Amino acid sequence: MGHAYIDLLVEDYMQFIEALRLRSKLFFLFILITIGLFSIGIMGAININSMKKNLDALYFGSLVPVTELNEMLQTYHNGLSSTLYKAKNSEISTFTTANELEHSLTKIKKLWLSYESHFKRDEELQYVEYVALEIKVVNRYFLKLLRAARNDTDMSGVSIVSLEKYVSHIHTVLQKLINYEVNMARYERKKFLQIYDSAIFKLGLILGLIILAVLIISYSVFASIQSDQTRLELATKKLKRLNKKLENVSYTDTLTDMHNRRYFNLVYERELKRAKRTHSHITFMMLDIDYFKQYNDTYGHLEGDNALKTVANVLVETLRRPSDFVFRLGGEEFGVLLTQTDESSSANLAREICDVVRGKEIEHKGSKVNDYLTISIGVVCCIADDALNEDILISRADEMLYEAKETGRDRYVITSNVSESKAQSIEDMTA
């Protein structure tokens, strides 16, 4: 009595330890998840701040086109205009004038090509094309003056009115484009900041909800862990009982690995009902090894078991369709159930089975019909209907098997007559 009580205490203690271990694992998992979520939040915030800095840089980078346009304006004023004023007042030579004009025009061309290479929206393209045309017109005026300077023409006759007119016009055109670029950069940054603030809020909200959900779930798990432990033990015991029942209701013959008589009863009833519903052919064969008792007496039960396995393998290898079922019904007796197989095909299969078994050339000195192991088969094949008796196929196949043995064995006999009287149509394999 004392030992039993100690064993019970030990068992309770072990269950408590297991439950405690499970709680510890869950708590550790919760800590890891929480740390992971906080880490994700921190990394997300860092990445978003980094993205903000990058886009701020992009904002200032978007002012690069503005810088290029301003530099073009400065070149028109300080490069071209200033040079021509000096040339008109004879402050510089025509050679210097030509060099400075050429340098300024080349610089303006490069700056404009660089500006055009930047991303442009569809609504910008039309005005950019207009500015390009105006630049060509103005530059054409300065190119004429450049050619004149190269030809050593006196530059004192340059019209200041025309010069100021062209420079003032291009200034207005480029300044309008500069103002547009600045306004667009400000608008894009304002829109980004709105998206940034919204993303930060959503990220915080989602992480908060996830952490809250993890806390609630963990609490529920911790609260129910003991009852779950008890349910698990009950489920384990129930599963063991069910497994025991499944073992007792095995459908496999241990010697041949074929389906046994229990499974035959299940399949036979199911397939017969199906054949009745569709009014299709159904065939049942009953097979018996000829003079099997004498074979056992001559070669021993071990060889007898090998003979049974050989016949089983012949049946399995010959009947491969999903609608073909083979069984070991008991002893040396086998059963075959075929669906959607007419009488001619059934007869051919029975003949093939007999031939293959005989072709294995298993010596059988105790046989009175052949030097090798043979089988006899009784076959019944018919179209199933509602009037078909469930037991008639088995009884008629048994009658045909008896007929095969009476008429010499090593053969099959087939009938399609499923009446209570014996069939008159008998096909002998040796005929």
| Other CB atoms within 10 Å distance of the CB of residue 388 | 15
The token pair that represents 39 in the structure block: 């880490």
Tokens 């007898």 correspond to 304
332 is known as an active-site residue: yes
Please state, in angstroms and as integers, the Cα–Cα distance from residue 237 to each residue in 10, 234, 240, following that order.
19, 5, 5
Tokens 């053969």 correspond to 411
How far is it, in rounded angstroms, from Cα 241 to Cα 314? Answer: 37
How far is it, in rounded angstroms, from Cα 392 to Cα 381? Answer: 11
Look at phi and psi of residue 5 and say left if phi exceeds 0, alpha if psi is from -120 to 50, else beta.
alpha
Residue 59 has phi, psi (to 5 degrees) of -60, -50
Are 170 and 111 a contacting pair, CB within 8 Å?
no
How far is it, in rounded angstroms, from Cα 37 to Cα 162? Answer: 70
- Smallest Cα–Cα separation from 404: which of 369, 356, 364? 369
Are 143 and 105 a contacting pair, CB within 8 Å?
yes
Strand partners, 415: 380
Q: Which secondary-structure segment (H or E) carries 248?
A: helix 160-248
Q: Where are the alpha helices (DSSP H) in 62-159?
A: 64-74, 82-88, 94-117, 122-150
- Smallest Cα–Cα separation from 393: which of 278, 277, 288, 271? 271
How far is it, in rounded angstroms, from Cα 91 to Cα 98? Answer: 13
Are 378 and 403 a contacting pair, CB within 8 Å?
yes
Selecting among 181, 332, 399, 403, the annotated active-site residue is 332
Q: Which secondary-structure segment (H or E) carries 40?
A: helix 2-61
Question: What single-letter DSSP state applies at residue 76?
Answer: I
**254: CB partners within 8 A, 6+ apart:** none
| Other CB atoms within 10 Å distance of the CB of residue 175 | 13
Q: Which secondary-structure segment (H or E) carries 312?
A: helix 301-318
Strand order in the sheet with 412-415: 324-330, 333-339, 281-289, 375-383, 412-415
- Smallest Cα–Cα separation from 416: which of 405, 406, 427? 427
Catalytic site positions: 332
